[in-house]
Amino acid sequence: MPEDISPRGPRHVAIIMDGNGRWAQARGRPRLFGHHAGAKRVKEIVRACKPLGVQYLTIFGFSTENWKRTQAEVAGLMSLFRQYIRKEARGLKAEGVRVRFIGDRVKLDDKLRALMDELEEMTAGNDEVHLTIALNYGGRDEVARATQRLAQDVKAGHLDPDDVNEETLPKYLDTCVLPDPDLVVRTSGEARISNFLLWQSAYAEYEFIDTLWPDFSKEEFRKLVDAYSARDRRFGALSA
């Protein structure tokens, strides 16, 4: 085992990438400048995962609430997502990264959805790092959509109502093929989870840090992974 990898380190890290706008404004630049800087930071953190033993990385790209932002910013973000996929697709495939998207795709434009589908298919055979990008995602929305699908199966007779429990619902979530996150990080100094992975993070460890996302480095990522490794995770039980 490489010395960088801790046997007790987080297998799955989820990140709320916050602070792009403030980072740009502090430099007298428009908010979209910060979003572009943040997109570049994603590449560095994805590459840092494997040496640290992080197999799954989930990032919060665009929430169901982000549609409330200005039309110009939303349009700019959608353009950035398309650019990111086109630019990074080959590199992600070559580096063994498997990409998945979670969230409600219906509201996204056709070109973006097509690129998302293409990237998922292109990287489907990869297994070095599993990168999940949440686009038009909200935890409550995800649970509501999952419950609708579950109810449809009950109605159709595919599922007995008596078999519905806390192990059944996760099979209908967007993240059904992923392990729950071990560590959830939010950058920019805000101490809230913003409707992100509500069900999945029930027993996750949280880190709220002051660093703005474009300044979040692989060195700081390593420190958070190391700090997690020192925690005593009891999942409601007592220490041995």
Give the whole-angstrom CA distance, residue 218 versus residue 49.
9
Place of tokens 């409600």: 104
Catalytic residue among 4, 66, 126, 141: 66
Residue 177: φ, ψ to 5°: -95, 5
Neighbours of 30 (CB within 10 A): 15
Closest C-alpha to 180, from 233, 104, 221, 107 = 233
H or E element, residue 144: helix 139-155
Residue with tokens 């046997």: 7
From 18, 20, 136, 182, active-site residue: 18
Tell me, yes or no, if 18 is annotated catalytic: yes
Burial 2-11 (b: 16+ CB within 10 A, else e): eeeeeeebbe
Question: Alpha-carbon distance 127 to 124, whole Å?
Answer: 8
Residue 20 annotated among the catalytic residues of the structure: no
Bridge pairing between strands 183-186 and 56-63: unpaired
The DSSP line for 218-233 is HHHHHHHHHHHHT---
Q: What angle do CA 226, 228, 232 make, to 5 degrees?
A: 125
Catalytic residues: 18, 66
